[in-house]
Chain A
Amino acid sequence: DAGVIQSPRHEVTEMGQEVTLRCKPISGHDYLFWYRQTMMRGLELLIYFNNNVPIDDSGMPEDRFSAKMPNASFSTLKIQPSEPRDSAVYFCASSHPAGPGGDTQYFGPGTRLTVL
């Protein structure tokens, strides 16, 4: 398997622009997670999906952020409008739990977003 695929790997944009990050989970995985990593706050869970349905979006920082999963093989994280404080590395991860808790999440390589 190719692992979790994210695109683009790097994105540089100007404040106010719309940014869309993309993720393809590992085939057969029914959980998908979006994380943000910054020096100040570390790794934060933004939102996660089960079978394409958002389960918990309490980590989404504000209404400028939205995430969708239209099918089992694709998810997007959108920021509109973007602000400099959104600059971070955004990771997508997927998993296929065998039971409650304890499952391994497989991470993509991340998208490094810079908002000027």
Chain B
Amino acid sequence: AQSVTQLGSHVSVSEGALVLLRCNYSSSVPPYLFWYVQYPNQGLQLLLKYTTGATLVKGINGFEAEFKKSETSFHLTKPSAHMSDAAEYFCAVSGLSYQLTFGKGTKLSVIP
């Protein structure tokens, strides 16, 4: 069984500030981890994913995430927030099956 916990349903940052969105997972098998972004009235779009290999994963739009097995975490970061980053972000986990288990999502607001 797998589960995902995203800490903070809403996060606000100033434009140019660091973005940090937290994700912790639970998995009985080595996990595959994902971050998706959802802009208003749109479907989900993949930001980045961890499968195997390097634990620091770089994605689109300057985002990156680090897989930390000891902490069961996969936090998403971006050094400098842009207004266009305002969206909802979902962390997800899968195991050997193709099912994704999503967290509840974190809505990011960027303050000018």
- A residues with a Cβ closer than 8 A to B are 4, 31, 33, 42-43, 45, 48, 50, 56, 91, 93, 95, 97, 100-110
Contact = CB atoms under 8 A, between A and B. Distances in A.
Q: Is the interface of A mostly helix, strand, loop or mixed?
A: strand
A31 B97 CA distance: 11
Given A45-B100, A102-B52, 4 more contacts: A31-B98, A43-B90, A43-B102, A108-B43
Nearest to A43: B102
Contacts of A109: 41-43
Contacts of A104: 34, 46, 49
B99 A48 contact: yes
A101 B51 contact: yes
A102 B49 contact: yes
25 contacts: A31-B98, A33-B99, A33-B100, A42-B102, A42-B103, A42-B105, A43-B90, A43-B102, A43-B105, A45-B101, A48-B98, A48-B99, A91-B44, A95-B98, A101-B96, A101-B97, A102-B52, A103-B98, A104-B46, A105-B100, A106-B46, A107-B43, A107-B44, A109-B41, A110-B43
Contacts of B105: 42-43
Interface of B: 32, 34, 36, 41-46, 49, 51-52, 90, 94-105
Given A42-B105, A102-B49, A91 B97 contact: no
A93 B44 CA distance: 9
Nearest to B43: A107
Contacts of B98: 31, 48, 50, 95, 97, 101, 103
